[in-house]
Each structure stands twice: as C-alpha cells, then as structure tokens.
Amino acid sequence: MPAHFRRRIRPRPHDDRPEDSPQVAERVADALFRASFAFRARMLATLLRSVGLLALAVIANGAFARYVVRATSEITVSIEDAARASWDQIYELVRYVQQSHPRRLRQVLDELALAAT
C-alpha cells in the first residue's frame, strides 16, 4: 500500500474529531479502491453491516440494494461485487458510515492500518 495511506491522520487544531472530515472518507475510499478485491470485499461487508435497510437501497444510487435481502443475516460481499464497486460508490458508503456509525469507520481505519504494516 502506498506510503501516503499509511500515515495516521492528525487532527487539525480546530477539529475535535478528525474522523468526521470528508478527507478521511476520501482517503478510506482511495485505500479500499486500490486494495485487493478480497480485502475490499471484507471491508465493504464491514461497512454495510452498519447500514439500515433504507440506506442500503439509496446509498450510491442503489448500488448496494442487493444486500437488502441479506440484511437480516450476516452480510458478505463477493470478490466480484467488490471488483465492480466504483470509487464513488465506496466513497458514498464510507461517508454514510462515517456520519452514522463512526465506531465502525474506526474499525475499518484500524484494519487499513494493520494491512499497511
């Protein structure tokens, strides 16, 4: 993984929670988009597990709507589905989770940090 994704995001003096920044969502989307499809699939599943039924149907213009049926059970994302996910779709999902479930985003950030080492 490129070095610029390995840097820890440092809070700016006026930021109480740097994870709320749109730039964090952009960096996560970049990292996931460039990651292996297997890793991307695992992280997308992690993010999708924190999304409600309605949000699954509308995030990224319905790109993740196929998971509504599986939302009552464990969501898994196939490598093929992960490969088809565009940067914009990943970004929208990350941004939604960032705002609605920041702890889940922290989990993804931790996984990305581990993968970079």
**Domain boundaries along the sequence of the chain:** 33-116
- Give Rg (Cα) of the chain: 14
User: Cα–Cα distance between 26 and 24 in angstroms, integer?
Assistant: 5
Confidence band of 15 (pLDDT split at 50, 70, 90): very low
Torsion, CA 26, CA 28, CA 31, CA 37, rounded to 10 = -120
Q: Going by C-beta distance under 8 Å and a sequence separation of 6 or more, which residues neighbour residue 27?
A: 5, 9
Tell me the per-residue pLDDT of 29-88, one tens digit each, with 9 for 90 and over: 999 999 999 999 999 999 998 888 888 889 998 898 888 876 655 888 999 999 999 999
- pTM greater than 0.85: no
